[in-house]
Amino acid sequence: MTTAVDCAPPAHLKPICLDELTERAALQTRVDRKYVLPVSEARDIVAQVGPDTLALEIDGRRCFSYRSVYFDTPELTSYLLTAQRRRRRFKVRTRTYLDSAECWLEVKTRGPRGNTVKDRLPYQPDHETSLSAGRRFVEEVLARESIEVGDRAFAPVLVTRYQRSTLFLTATVSRVTIDTELTWEGDTGPPLRLPGLAVVETKTGSTASCVDRLLWARGHRPVRISKYATGLAALRPDLPCAPWRRTLRRHFTLLGATDGHRTHPDAERPGPSLVASAVRPPTSSGTE
């Protein structure tokens, strides 16, 4: 099976350290475009970037392990606002960089032009499954965006794990992340794994990057996928999933699923975990 290290940036690309990347391309307010494609094609795209592209490197490593814990209310307010495509929607998560044990509490909201705004707070790794130490921060960010959650309690709903490589494109001052070995774990049931697929995300200002154009030239178009919402929809077929239905059909083949639109006709009996198999996207020029 193709592994995450296959998408590590090639050695000929010059490195960039985390501090410099943060200084030059923090992009806390940005335009995100996400693509789902086989790992082999993601590797080919990475191999075609220009020599002015820099690769994030820390202690000689170019591929890093991430774990994110997503929080929601008992009514799944965050999920449902996203499923209903409300403008004032949000996500709350802790993100732990497993190679360095660094942890952040993050709140993602939508800007007035539909761009993504991310607010971050340094967090203790041993608090990653609780908002007790960061509840005030979350409330302040949501109040600023006129998002009301009242005194609803937040609890961990979903855990994601994956490997990530990051590129800095100097020409457009933008970033590209390549995520592989994706795994979702809900509060019940077996985990969901997505072998053989990569999620490529470009994070730019108003100008599309060269990686976007390379992907478009190969027939890939941005898709609607959210690690939190799409992952939870895959694990919970009872939830509304209209924004991600096409992504679920094209790229998630759930073995043993009971929901008709998420079950492949050739599905076999599941093993100890749910496995989502790679489905090569069509080369249509239409948008998601």
Query: Which of 70-84, 154-168, 240-254, 262-276 has the least mean pLDDT?
Result: 262-276
In the predicted model, is pLDDT for residue 77 greater than 70?
A: yes
* DSSP classification of residue 154: -
Instruction: Note the pLDDT of residue 4.
Output: 46
Is residue 284 one of the residues assigned to a domain? no
Is residue 155 one of the residues assigned to a domain? yes
pLDDT band at 257 (very low <50, low <70, confident <90, very high): very low
**Domain, as residue range, for 37:** 4-275
CATH number of the domain enclosing 271: 2.40.320.10
Instruction: Note the pLDDT of residue 267.
Output: 26
pLDDT band at 279 (very low <50, low <70, confident <90, very high): very low
Between 7 and 138, whose confidence is greater?
A: 138
Is residue 228 one of the residues assigned to a domain? yes
Q: How many domains does the chain have?
A: 1
Is residue 287 one of the residues assigned to a domain? no
Q: Whole-prediction pTM value?
A: 0.83
Is residue 285 one of the residues assigned to a domain? no
Is residue 120 one of the residues assigned to a domain? yes
pLDDT band at 253 (very low <50, low <70, confident <90, very high): low
Q: What is the mean pLDDT of residues 111-128?
A: 87
Phi, psi of 188 (to 5 degrees): -140, 160
Is residue 9 one of the residues assigned to a domain? yes
* Cα distances (Å, whole numbers) of residue 198 to 92, 152, 194: 23, 35, 9
In the predicted model, is pLDDT for residue 271 greater than 60?
A: no
Diameter of the chain by CA atoms?
52
Is residue 82 one of the residues assigned to a domain? yes
In the predicted model, is pLDDT for residue 15 greater than 70?
A: yes
Torsion of CA 102, 4, 167, 279, to 10 degrees: -120
Considering the chain, what percentage of its residues have pLDDT values greater than 70? 83
